[in-house]
Structure 1
Amino acid sequence: MARGDLTDGQWARLELLLPTGKKPGRPRTWTRRQLIDGIRWRTRAGTPWRDVPERYGPWDRVYDLFRRWQRDGTWKRILEQLQVQADAQGLITWDVSVDSTVCRAHQHAAGARKKGICSANLPAGSTSSPTTTGSDGPAAD
């Protein structure tokens, strides 16, 4: 067992939630535990599927199990069942926190011109300064 692989206790708990999938024919070469550990390794490492170590089985077999269970909803059912069990044991606190301190605007919302401030909207011969002294020269002391 490598670091990060399922422990015996974790596997015993997870094995009860897996689909039975007994098929006639040749027995499996790779156990489900190995394939699931391969899926977990790939998810944890964030590498391409082809880089899954051989101890977990062929990468395409690991990927095939992942995609098949993703498509038929097996991963979702496993998560829901684990959440129900944890909630029944009081291990989950269902607190909801809403924080509105961050307000994001679209990138085009920054620096937009406002109507009436732009010099193109001012009448000819007017100044853009809101305060004028009314005299022709500097103010006398």
Structure 2
Amino acid sequence: MRRHQLSNAQSGLIADLMPRSGRRGGGRWRDQWQVVNGLIWKCGTCAPWRDPPERYGPW
């Protein structure tokens, strides 16, 4: 587990609250866990929105 990411146990606690994967609206969804972990990284580091590590996808 990385410093600013949810553990498997933490992910399991909120998994039922996450939308189901698949197509919806105007296009394909990103990996929801990648987005959640990116937000946790952003809030934990106070870095600019445009500076996320590549593992979290584009800003």
Q: Give the structure-2-normalised TM-score.
A: 0.75
Q: Which residue identity is paired with 1:35?
A: V
* 2:2 matches 1:9: no
Which residue is 2:31 aligned to?
Answer: 31
Determine if the alignment matches structure 1 residue 43 to structure 2 residue 40.
no
Distance 2:21 2:34 in 1: 16
- Name the count of aligned residue pairs: 57
Q: Which amino acid aligns with 1:17?
A: L
The separation in 1 between residues aligned to 2:3 and 2:14, in whole angstroms, is 18
What are the Cα deviations for residues 55-80 of structure 1, in whole angstroms up to 9, with x where unaligned?
01111xxxxxxxxxxxxxxxxxxxxx
Task: Indicate the structure (1 or 2) with the bigger Cα radius of gyration.
Answer: 1
Q: Which runs of 5+ in 2 are unaligned?
A: none
Determine which structure has greater relative contact order: mean sequence separation of CA pairs < 8 Å that are 6+ residues apart, divided by chain length.
2
Deviation at 1:21, TM superposition (A): 6.2
The amino acid across from 2:17 in the alignment is L
Runs of 4+, deviation exceeding 4 Å: none
- The separation in 1 between residues aligned to 2:58 and 2:37, in whole angstroms, is 12
Are 1:52 and 2:26 matched, yes or no?
A: no
Unaligned runs of 5+ in 1: 60-141
- Cα root mean square deviation, aligned: 2.2
- For 1:19 and 1:35, the matched residues in 2 are separated by 12
Report which of the two has the higher share of strand. Answer: 2
Identity of aligned residues (%): 35
TM-score (norm 1): 0.35
- Asked if the contact 2:22–2:28 (Cα under 8 Å) also holds between the matched residues in 1, the reply is no
